[in-house]
Amino acid sequence: MTIPDKKIYPRTNDFETVYLKGVITNSNIIVGDYTMYNDFVSDPTKFEKNNVLYQYPINKDRLIIGKFCSIACGAKFLFTSANHTLKSISTYPFPIFFEKWNLGKEHVMSAWDNKGDIVIGNDVWIGYEAVILSGVHIGDGAIIGTRAVVTKDIPPYTVVGGIPAKEIKKRFDEETIYKLQQIQWWNWSFDKIQQFLPYIMNGEVDNLYLSIT
């Protein structure tokens, strides 16, 4: 499924909201269709620079965001290079300043602990100024509260908040979550989503489930 008109701005005369896929140039940032970012403080088209931090090419770590996600103003994604290694006695990143300390350039990456990719599922809502740390995986349909700091994986359809982020509640019961994971409506064609949109918007999971069984 692709955005039919390939718009950057989803709404007429709204230049604070963008489809992220249309503004990404970094090959290590992968964004699904219709995922949007809103920024009323800075230019939302500068998402790569302002919101994806410490993603240095030497690490080859990736930010992967699914389809139909909603990312609020100021949300940040902090990558491995923000993590000074805990293996050293000192917290100072000596390997970064290899020239000063006569260290080998090839050991630069030993200055931090590599936590890996950040992977965001589909239909995830990330609240205002939330922070997602490297290595975290967030399941489909999850909600990340305002200014939460996510340090660990979040299961699908789970609401979290706080510092560090902790589970507040499940959005649905286990049977409903199972059905939603089977449905995966975000992978449907544009026409099918439009056809079943009333069921999606009204929370009629059983009717959606019948469409795949």
**Residue keyed to tokens 């240095």:** 56
Question: How confident is the model over 123-182, as pLDDT tens digits?
Answer: 999 999 999 999 999 999 999 999 999 999 999 999 999 999 999 999 999 999 999 999
Is the pLDDT reported for residue 5 higher than 60?
no
Domain ranges within the chain, ordered by starting residue:
17-171, 172-212
Average pLDDT, the chain: 94
Question: How confident is the model over 177-209, as pLDDT tens digits?
Answer: 999 999 999 999 999 999 999 999 999 999 999
Question: How confident is the model over 86-124, as pLDDT tens digits?
Answer: 999 999 999 999 999 999 888 899 899 889 999 999 999
Is the pLDDT reported for residue 3 higher than 80?
no
Strands, DSSP E only, in 66-134?
70-71, 76-78, 118-120, 125-126, 131-133
Bridge partner residues of 159 (DSSP): 143, 169
Residue pair 119/138 in contact (Cβ under 8 Å)? The answer is: yes
Point out the residues that are catalytic: 84
Is the pLDDT reported for residue 41 higher than 90?
yes
Question: CATH assignment of 17-171?
Answer: 2.160.10.10
Is the pLDDT reported for residue 44 higher than 60?
yes
